[in-house]
Amino acid sequence: MQKSSEEVRVYGCPAEEIMSGKIVMDKAGVFDDLSAAVTWHPFDRNRVSNDIWQAQDIKNYTFHGISAHASKAPEEGRSALDAAELMNIGVNYLREHVPGDVRMHYAYLDNHIPANVVPDTAKTNYFIRSSKRSRTEDASRRVDNCARGAALMTGTTVDIELVKCCKEMKVNRPLAEIFYQAMTQIPTPEYTKEELAFAAEICKKAGFPDCGKYFSGLEPLEDAPVPIAIGTDASEVSHTVPLITVSAATMCKGTPLHHWAAAEQAGMSIGQKGMLYAARCMAEGTKLLLETPDAFEKIWTYHRRDSL
C-alpha cells in the first residue's frame, strides 16, 4: 500500500439496537471531520449494503390515572392501563391508513400492579419507522394523537417522551462500488462439517429447516438503492459524512434476524468467522478507497448532490 496522509480511526459504538450510540456521538460532533465512515452489521449474507435503512422515532408513553380497589370501588379509579390498551387499539386501526413502508410496534414497560387494583400508571415503548424521515414524523404525530385520545377517553393524562430519533440511511453509490470491488478479492468464510451441522440443527429446532442448508457467498451489488424494514443508528451518521455498511454472514442464509437461532449461530465460531471477514472487508475497502485517485472527491460530490 502507498503511504497516505489520511488517519484511520476506530470508534467503539455501543447500543446500536436501541438507536443510541452513534446518534449521541454524531450530535457531539465526533464524526464531523471524517472523510468517510465505514461500519458493519451482522446479517445472513455477505454484501455491501446499498440499502435505505429506516428513519425511526423511539418513544415512551406514560399514562397517569387514579388508583382504586378494582372490585369494591372501581368507579373511583381511572385506569392508566385502559388508556394504554386503547392507545394500542387506535394505533392498530391506524395501520390501514399509513404508507406501506411504515412500521409501528410497541411493548409494555414497568407494569407490576396486581389485577385487583385499578392501575394508576402504565407505560409503553414504541418504535415508529419508515424509509423516509417525513413519513416517520407524520406517523409519529398520529400515534401521539392516539395516545392523547386514549387519555381523554379514560380520564387519565399522558406524558410523551421522544427517546431517540434518526433519519433514513443516505446511500453513496461511488463508495459502495469501491468497497464491492475490494470485497470481490476477499474469499468468503469456509465452514467445517461441524459448523454446518450445528447451523442445520439449530434452524431445524427453530422451525426453519431450509435455512440451515447453505451459507452466503458475496452477494452482487444492487443496481439501485433498496428500502429495507430495519434500522440502524449509523443512518444518522450517513447524513454527516459519506458512509458505507458492510454486511457479513454470522448465520446461515435465511435465518430470521433478532431470533434465538441467529444468536446461537453468531455466538459460536460461525459468528466469529463472520466478524473477522467483516473486519478484513472494512480494512481492504478502506485501503482501496485511499488508493483510488479522486475517490474522496467523487464520494463527497455524490453525498452533497444527494442532499439537494
Residue 1, pLDDT score = 52
Residue 66, pLDDT score = 96
133/56 Cα distance (integer angstroms): 7
Beta strand segments in the chain, E: 37-43, 47-49, 51-52, 55-64, 68-69, 103-109, 117-118, 121-130, 157-166, 226-227, 243-249
Residue 231, pLDDT score = 85
Q: Percent of the chain having pLDDT more than 70?
A: 97
Dump pLDDT digits (tens) for 98-119: 999 999 999 999 778 889 999 9
- Averaged confidence pLDDT in the chain: 91
Q: Percent of the chain having pLDDT more than 90?
A: 72
87/2 Cα distance (integer angstroms): 60
Dump pLDDT digits (tens) for 254-271: 888 889 999 999 999 999
Residue 253 has pLDDT above 60, yes or no: yes
Residue 4, pLDDT score = 63
Residue 5, pLDDT score = 72
**17: nearest Cα among 64, 58, 45, 59:** 58
Residue 176, pLDDT score = 96
Residue 308 has pLDDT above 50, yes or no: no
Dump pLDDT digits (tens) for 158-168: 999 999 999 99
Beta strands 103-109 and 121-130 are antiparallel
Q: Region 240-258: what's the mean pLDDT?
A: 92
Residue 15, pLDDT score = 74
Dump pLDDT digits (tens) for 180-213: 999 999 999 999 999 999 999 998 898 887 776 7
Q: Region 224-240: what's the mean pLDDT?
A: 88
Contact (Cβ atoms closer than 8 angstroms) between residue 154 and residue 82: yes
125/140 Cα distance (integer angstroms): 13
Residues in the chain: 308
Residue 16, pLDDT score = 73
Buried b or exposed e, range 140-157, using 16+ CB within 10 angstroms: bebbbebbbebbeebebe
pLDDT class for 214, splitting at 50, 70, 90? Answer: confident
87/124 Cα distance (integer angstroms): 10
Residue 237, pLDDT score = 93
For residue 17, count other CB atoms closer than 10 A to its CB.
Answer: 11
Q: Region 45-50: what's the mean pLDDT?
A: 91
Q: At a CB cut-off of 8 Å and minimum separation 6, what does 179 contact?
A: 38, 48, 244, 246, 281, 285, 288, 289
Residue 80 has pLDDT above 70, yes or no: yes
Residue 37 has pLDDT above 90, yes or no: yes
Q: 203: part of which helix (H) or strand (E)? A: helix 193-206
Contact (Cβ atoms closer than 8 angstroms) between residue 273 and residue 216: no
Torsion of CA 72, 152, 136, 108, to 10 degrees: -10
Spans of all domains in the chain: 21-53+169-305, 55-166
Residue 307, pLDDT score = 54
Q: Which CATH superfamily is domain 21-53+169-305 in?
A: Zn peptidases (3.40.630.10)
State the fold for domain 55-166. Alpha-Beta Plaits (3.30.70)
Comparison of pLDDT for 214 and 181, the residue scoring more:
181
Torsion of CA 53, 272, 211, 185, to 10 degrees: 70
Q: Region 139-146: what's the mean pLDDT?
A: 98
